[in-house]
Amino acid sequence: MTERTVLTGARVVLPTGVAEGGRVTIEGDRIAEDAPREAKELDLTGHWIVPGFVDIHVHGGGGASFSAGSAEEALTAIRTHRAHGTTTIVASTVTGDLDDLARQAATLAELTEQGDLAGIHFEGPFISAHRCGAHQPELLRDPDPADVRKLVDAARGAARMMTLAPELPGGLESVRLLAEHGVIAAVGHTDSTYEATLEAIEAGATVATHLFNAMPSLLHRAPGPIAALLEDERVTVELINDGTHLHPAALQLAFHQAGADRVAFITDAMGAAGMSDGMYPLGPMRVEVKDGVARIADGPTAGSIAGSTLTLDTAFKRAVTIDRLPVEDAVRALSTTPARLLGLSDRIGTIEPGKDADLVVLDEAFGLVGVMRKGEWLVKPEVR
């Protein structure tokens, strides 16, 4: 008979709200109905239990990068983020030569097939040179649908999302192609106008890649992509809540306009996540991390912010302690909304019987003390 474990005494964030002194029953790798049966009990009084975090945009961690084309490096990055509560990960690539990206996709597809990843996100090369950020300008190209299809095919069914600039030649056709193949088309690293962004949404784009960053600012006569992406209920907006990428007022604006059901917190983390300051690679580029902030070290984009060193447990804590978001809204933005976006809400994203036992345990101050993935403790809470 499968072993049962019951977590008791904690504040449990459920789809219906916070259950004080709640109980979560684990049977095997799933959350089970609570029933009178022999079980091990773990008293988590004074703690919070929330669903495992879901990161749909992350480039690496633990000194490793998903763009390295190495399964060993990818697994290092995966383990790093899992230890910080991210139980479901979509691996993001960075702009590179198409053949190199195809080779990276083959490696990441294998890890997806093994269940280590939830899929692949291609960020670039089909982005604007005017908003390229930490992407190598000479490797950028227009989103020719044939090239887009090449990367989708290389991912062998593991492609989950592609970020592109829809105003570029072939942009709208590529958005339609992605939608037809069940791949999320994301608007990002773009110089698009308000009107062109609306066209992209009508063509099938459903995500804003790190809203506010790498796109024109919101202006009263030229609202640009930000207004179009915020106002359309079909669009989920990514936010990097690290205190560097966004002013708290911008985050509050996004939540006020879109609501927690349309916000997905992401890390956009590069290899330095979980590591100390120093020099790190990001695709073909060199990044210097100083005081936890990653910037391109040299070349024409030197000084540009190069992703983050964020982990989602830090994003969660910041959301509820600094940004003063309700805990339930933070859970939606870190778990429920991205799970639904990926089409995985039948398995993850909320604490409900029948779903994967992916859980994060937090102390009273919202510091991470435990991580469970599919019923296995990756970080076991130390309780008295």
Residue 123 marked in a binding site: yes
Q: How far apart are CA 73 and CA 57, in angstroms?
A: 17
For residue 240, report the phi and psi dihedrals to the nearest 5 degrees.
-100, 105
Quickly tell me which residue has 């480039």 as its tokens: 59
* 306 marked as part of a ligand binding site: yes
Inter-residue contact 306 to 138 (CB < 8 Å) = no
Kind of pairing between the strands at 285-290 and 278-282: antiparallel
43 is catalytic: no
| Residue 172 phi, psi dihedral angles, 5° rounding | -65, -40
Q: Binding residue per annotation — 159? A: no
- CA triplet 355, 318, 120: central angle to 5 degrees? 50
Are the C-beta atoms of 365 and 320 separated by less than 8 Å? Answer: no
State yes or no: 214 annotated in a binding site.
Answer: yes
Q: Which of 191, 232, 242, 268 is catalytic?
A: 268
Asked whether the beta carbons of 269 and 81 are under 8 A apart, the reply is yes
Strands 48-51 and 359-362 turn out to be: antiparallel
Q: Give residue 49's identity as a one-letter amino acid code.
A: I
DSSP 155-212: TTT-EEEEEE-TTSTTHHHHHHHHHHTT-EEEE-S----HHHHHHHHHHTEEEETTTT
CB distance 279 to 297 below 8 Å: yes
Rounded CA separation 49/12 (Å): 5
Determine if residue 210 is labeled as part of a ligand binding site. yes
Q: Which residues sit opposite 7 in a β-bridge?
A: 24, 42
Residue identified by tokens 């916000």 is: 263
- Residue 262 annotated as lining a ligand binding site: no
Give the phi and the psi of residue 348 in degrees, each rounded to 5.
Answer: -140, 175
Structure tokens at 332: 């939606």
213 is in an annotated binding site: yes
249 is in an annotated binding site: no
305 is in an annotated binding site: yes
Per-position DSSP letters for 69-117, written without gaps between them: --HHHHHHHHHHHHTTTEEEEEEEE-S--HHHHHHHHHHHHHHHHTTS-
Feature table: binding site for substrate = 134, 213-214, 221, 245, 305-307
Feature table: binding site for Zn(2+) = 123, 189, 210
Annotated catalytic sites, by residue? 268
Feature table: binding site = 123, 134, 189, 210, 213-214, 221, 245, 305-307
